[in-house]
Structure 1
Amino acid sequence: MNEGNNELIFGKVLDSIDAGVHVIDSEGNTIFYNKKMSEIEGMKIEDVLHKNIREIFSFHKNGQSTLLLVLNQRSEILNVRQSYFNNKQQEITTINNTFPIEKDGILIGSMEIARDVTKIEKMIQDTIFHKGDAKYTFESIIGVSTAITEVIEASKRAMRTNSSILIIGETGTGKELFAQSIHNGSSRSTKPFISQNCAAIPETLMEGILFGTKKGAFTGAIERPGLFEQADGGTLLLDEINSLDPSLQAKLLRVIQERTVRRVGDTKDRPVDVRIVATVNQDPIDLITNGLLRKDLFYRLSVVSLFIPPLRERKDDIDELVPFFIEKYNHLFGMKVFGIDRSLMESFLEYDWPGNVRELEHVIEGAMNLIDLEEIITFSHLPNHIRNKPQFSRSAEMNNGDKQIQAEKPLDLYLQDAEISYLKRTLQQQNGNITKTAQTLGMSRQNLQYRLRKYGISGK
């Protein structure tokens, strides 16, 4: 294969990857500029190729191109955020990995691989730093089961103080509803409620979002308050807090303990008065064991621990939730659906709803999109992915006249039931003594107490 074909293949490969690639020679002239980089920077390839980047791009005061910086220092620069302006003076923000290119020990250029975060930066400016609206109250939480009413009562008691709260529950159980309800029922209700999903923002930007930035702290940095300052006097909800890097978790712990925040690049500590509500969608003991959640942060956040039960543990509430969602989408869609087929409701009660209340709502919404002039939701209106679930075989039977075998209990539910049974049996053998039970099970007393609270098992 000749050199021309190699270059053609090389160019095709780099044009097809979902990252910007920009290569310059030792003089700063562009020798390769892929399609994705063209999209990120909003310029045509011909506007950049074979031209010196000093003539095309401009930078904030004291800022400079990482491509040129690598040429000067002859060493790679990894995971650096850079803000600059294209030839139309539009601001671009990227996260870059930049490498020197050498041949026989001679520096011949540099290469940059970039990820676009311009849209995320705009979202941060336009959305994240506006005060959030906490529209839900405890009246918004639908359910009459013992499992849910006990959590509601515990949450109402937590409204009276300013202690940190850790809400534990699977995805779709309604953790934010509880967080907003607590805020709206507390003395902080007239102050900001700000919510941030910690998994939604790149790690390189998260510190500045939480704590704020000082102008000039890094290339393109502006004077901007973080979430703690924005939520001052109110409540800050940190969703999926285990998504934060452990080093950032340590800084978060310091802010919570000292009630002061220091912006990135600043030397000044600013006092903040914020109630922290954090959520996790996995067992926090497992998260700690796997190094995803710092133990000291867990203990600091879990002053009040709320366990939101999955829908499979509160199936009595399905009778309340289904008509609520039907009425909601009747209003949104301008429809008049009066209910759900009896056999389908029986299938709803048999299904374990791994996506919890959110999944139930989406199924109702999907069904109402498929209804024509009917007034009752039946099996034929269900989305395909739900129709194929074995738990809905009775509804299919009524619909098609065919018999199908009912499903066995899902593995995760079987294992959970086995764990509950084993804990109860061991606790009984030790006459309810938690310390002796923990020793018998080979776990810490704190770990056992967490699991007993999670499953509502009493000991002494």
Structure 2
Amino acid sequence: MTVASIGSIIRSFVDGVIALNEQREILWHDIKEDIPINISKGMTISSFMECDNKHFINNETFLLDLNGKQLSIVVKVLSTEDTIIFLCLKDLTNETTNMEERLYCLEKIIDSLDEGVMMSNSEGEITLYNEAQEKMEGLISQNIIGKHLWSVYNYNPQYSEHKHTIKTGKPIFSRYRAHSTINGIPKYVNYSTYPIQKDGKTISVFSLSTNESKLKDRLHQTIEQKRQANVTHQEKVHSKNGTIFTFNDIKGKSLVLLDLIKEAQNVSIHNADTLIVGETGTGKELFAQSMHNHSPRANKPFVAINCAAIPENLLESTLFGTVKGAFTGATDQIGLFEYAQDGTLFLDEINSMPITLQTKLMRVLQERLVRKVGSNDVAPVKCTIISACNEDPEKLIAENKMRIDLFYRIAHTSLYIPPLRERIEDVHFFINYFLDTYQRKLAKSVPILSNSLQKSLLQYSWPGNIRELEHMIENLIIRVPENATAIEVNHLPSYMRGKILVVHSTTSFEESNEIKRPLKKIFKSSEKQLIETTLVQSNWNVSQAAQKLGITRQSLQYHIKKHDLEKPTI
């Protein structure tokens, strides 16, 4: 083939071709008209580019700026009887402009998305942060672009998910947490993180976030409207799904309780297995029923069982079911895991379950398959599991009363209900609430509480929590004479009178409140700082820190989670 024929073939793929001999003389050329090169056959290539000492290598690529044009030149060396060098020209000018326009358009598209987009480079520096992400997290992109993720979100770089994805090259799916707060309120988002790879190397990482608040609001409204349309308050309806409570029935006004209700509502939307921790009388089943009725499975069964109330052998058959002949007297019986169908199974006082049965329960939760006692057949577990315990899970694990692997199975998400003694605002609220409730219920009008009795009730530790307080108020209304001018300490039941008088004589209400509740005194100003300082002083021993703060270990864990505090690593 001739030089011209070979050059013509190459020209069909590029914007220009120049054929040279070994002496750098032009043998043939065909160049697009808008490329400003004035050459002719026989000229040397040095007439329009400096290459006197250049040794052209096959497949070499270099750039040339020529009269406002940016050209990419690829060298093709054809070795036959005579060596022919083809310079293949590509005009990058329009391509560069197009790339800039394309990049601008892509940035505008990203900013118009409802999903939040955040990208970081291999050093963990934020390189992209769109408007949707700004709205979700309350941050401004121009203030954080170029900064490290951990400095923006105030966490240890060791725990950076983007850094982990850069290292592993593997995506992280469906996380749900708050990285930032607005006016002290954590802003929870559902997000996934993905690597961007080039030539087998991860060069960047980005996260896609969705703010589910609008979707949740619509879902909450739909669920509530459906419930209001079908159910009156009096029939709230055992016959429908096995519940009688919703979040409207959870009373109180403390900030801790209000935050807990919001957290429980968010958790219920996701159908996640949940562990509720709280002392006796704090309302664990009330929360469990409310979460069921707030969830997408509200029209499905809610099935509850108290694990402490049933012997071990009966508990196993009750949960898993039996087949006829499995043991003496056994009949074909469906278990509660199957009976709950697509609804919720509530395992109350799960800490009372024997260790041997915990092992079997753990396997069911892990495999999501249940086998009836005496059968080899399995059935799928479709229900969501809400468990409750009235003791600190870590204490139970340390005492070998709960398997640690069972804890991780039942506590995909955990909720801690603080005891009433840590919610003085709610003690005052419930005193008035139950006084009003039982006066109407018993059709009896009573005078107000004396100052002495009111202070004593506010100072009392309420080991039985709300249930104990309700029982005491009901007794007071029954016992107080109609001619009394105030409800006094001597109107209390004798067993309560002794306990309250002992507490009252030990310390004044003001002293007790000052000693036991330092968190409440500084709640709005420096709660986080106090907790963090105490944890550092205790070398992050949660039990010791809780003792110094005068609160329970579970309550401190709640505040640690609330303020996104993390133990520093060395």
TM-score range, shorter chain: 0.5 to 0.7
Specify the SS of the correspondent of 2:304: strand
| Counterpart residue identity of residue 491, structure 2 | H
Rounded to whole Å, the distance in 1 between the matches of 2:564 and 2:284 is 24
Kindly provide the CA deviation profile for residues 368-427 of structure 1, in whole angstroms up to 9, marking residues without a partner as x: 221232575332321111211255776xxxxxxxxx5537869x969x99xx99974464
1:70 is aligned to none
Aligned match for 2:403, one of 275, 294, 314: 294
2:452 is aligned to 343
1:157 is aligned to 266
Larger Rg: 2
Going from structure 1 to structure 2, the CA distance change for 1:193 and 1:333 (only over 3 Å counts) comes to same
Q: Is the 8 A contact 2:241 2:302 kept in 1?
A: yes
1:275 is aligned to 384
Rounded to whole Å, the distance in 1 between the matches of 2:371 and 2:240 is 20
The two structures, once aligned, show a CA RMSD in angstroms of 3.3
Rounded to whole Å, the distance in 2 between the matches of 1:185 and 1:239 is 19
Deviation at 1:306, TM superposition (A): 0.5
| Counterpart residue identity of residue 375, structure 2 | D
Going from structure 1 to structure 2, the CA distance change for 1:381 and 1:197 (only over 3 Å counts) comes to same
1:459 is aligned to 565
Q: Is the 8 A contact 2:241 2:298 kept in 1?
A: no
Rounded to whole Å, the distance in 1 between the matches of 2:491 and 2:529 is 39
| Counterpart residue identity of residue 380, structure 1 | N
Residues 1:359 and 2:468 are matched in the alignment:
yes
Rounded to whole Å, the distance in 2 between the matches of 1:234 and 1:357 is 28
Rounded to whole Å, the distance in 1 between the matches of 2:448 and 2:320 is 49
Shifted more, 332-341 versus 307-316: the winner is 332-341
Deviation at 1:428, TM superposition (A): 3.5
Q: Is the 8 A contact 2:362 2:409 kept in 1?
A: yes
Kindly provide the CA deviation profile for residues 223-259 of structure 1, in whole angstroms up to 9, marking residues without a partner as x: 1111111111111111110111112112111222222
Residues 1:241 and 2:241 are matched in the alignment:
no
Deviation at 1:332, TM superposition (A): 3.0
Residues 1:204 and 2:319 are matched in the alignment:
no
1:219 is aligned to 328
Q: Is the 8 A contact 1:158 1:304 kept in 2?
A: yes
1:383 is aligned to 493
Q: Is the 8 A contact 1:307 1:454 kept in 2?
A: yes
Shifted more, 178-187 versus 314-323: the winner is 314-323
Specify the SS of the correspondent of 1:206: helix
Rounded to whole Å, the distance in 1 between the matches of 2:426 and 2:478 is 23
- List alignment gaps of at least 5 residues for structure 2: 1-237, 521-527, 545-552
Rounded to whole Å, the distance in 1 between the matches of 2:541 and 2:365 is 31
Rounded to whole Å, the distance in 2 between the matches of 1:135 and 1:360 is 21
User: How many equivalent pairs are there?
Assistant: 306
Deviation at 1:313, TM superposition (A): 0.6
Specify the SS of the correspondent of 2:440: helix
Rounded to whole Å, the distance in 1 between the matches of 2:409 and 2:455 is 43
Deviation at 1:326, TM superposition (A): 2.0
Shifted more, 214-223 versus 371-380: the winner is 371-380
Specify the SS of the correspondent of 2:300: coil
Kindly provide the CA deviation profile for residues 298-355 of structure 1, in whole angstroms up to 9, marking residues without a partner as x: 0111111101000011010122212221233223322223643333222111111111
Task: Map 1:76-95 to 2 at 5 A.
Answer: none
Scaled by the length of structure 1, the TM-score of the pair is 0.60
Kindly provide the CA deviation profile for residues 60-86 of structure 1, in whole angstroms up to 9, marking residues without a partner as x: xxxxxxxxxxxxxxxxxxxxxxxxxxx
Specify the SS of the correspondent of 1:340: coil
Aligned match for 1:136, one of 239, 242, 245: 245
Specify the SS of the correspondent of 1:163: coil
Specify the SS of the correspondent of 2:347: strand
Rounded to whole Å, the distance in 1 between the matches of 2:264 and 2:255 is 14
Residues 1:229 and 2:338 are matched in the alignment:
yes
Residues 1:191 and 2:191 are matched in the alignment:
no
Going from structure 1 to structure 2, the CA distance change for 1:141 and 1:374 (only over 3 Å counts) comes to farther
Rounded to whole Å, the distance in 2 between the matches of 1:343 and 1:450 is 31
Percent of residue pairs identical: 43
2:432 is aligned to 323
